[in-house]
Amino acid sequence: MSKSLDRLIVLLWVLVTPMMAVSIYMIFLYAPEEKVMGAAQRIFYFHVPTAMVTYSSVLVLLAGSIGYLWTRNTMWDNLSRAATETGLLFCSLVLITGPIWAKPAWGTWWTWEARLISTLVLEILLIAALMVRRYADNRDLGARLAAIIGITIAADVYVVHKAVEWWRGMHPEVFKAGNRGSLDPRMTTALFVCMGALFFLCITLIRLRYRAARIETRSEALRLERLD
């Protein structure tokens, strides 16, 4: 099992590395420069895919949270841990790239609109899910509390996704019905290539962290056996 897992991780890295290189090429050399924002618009190719990949991580987190609450199997908890940490990484990148994009687009680094606030709440909840694991009295309690927070995180992602539709605001909707043709075809191609590259990077990181979590779980079990 360990060897097959190693092969899968190697295969994922072999796939991700050229995809990331192609993405960089398409962002800076293939996609045309936007007429209004200029070079600053290119952060768009990082910002939107990291948001989509954050959603994907939270979907895995939701599956792991429900799975653990239903079965109490540590496999599901390890998956939740991996997805939480990966989701936190990409959500942090969303909150970093967003203001970089917002400054030239809106004239301000941050505005307290619904989508930005709900994304900040998402970041806080992801941190909380990691903290309850660390400070809970035992592994099962921490895993259960983290699973409950994980389900809450999934609910918040839905709020993030619908925030502009429900409360409007300055934040643009990239994937909106009737919005076809608003981007240059080369921009659209670059966006989806970047999205694919980051999606596979997300899978790779979750897989790596899941493997590390399994090793940690086994080590902890062996330590407890020796104490007994």
Q: What share of the chain is helix, strand, coil (3-state, %, to 5)?
A: 85, 0, 15
Whole-number Å distance between alpha carbons of 186 and 164: 26
Distance of CA 63 to the CA centre of its chain: 15
CA dist 69 → 66, 89, 150 (Å): 5, 25, 11
Domain borders along the chain are 2-227
Please give the single-letter amino acid code of residue 136. A
How does DSSP classify residue 38? B
DSSP 84-98: HHHHHHHHHHHHHHH
Q: What is the pLDDT of residue 153?
A: 96
Successive 10-residue mean pLDDT values, the chain, 228 residues:
68 90 92 82 90 96 96 94 96 93 82 90 96 89 95 95 77 56 81 94 94 85 70
Q: Which residues contact 89 (CB under 8 A, 6 or more apart)?
A: 205
Residue identified by tokens 């990181």 is: 205
pLDDT at res. 112: 86
Distances (CA, A) of 140 to 77, 107, 132, 194: 9, 47, 11, 38
Q: What count of Cα atoms within 13 Å lies in the side-chain half-sphere of residue 213?
A: 23
Q: What's the pLDDT score for residue 218?
A: 84
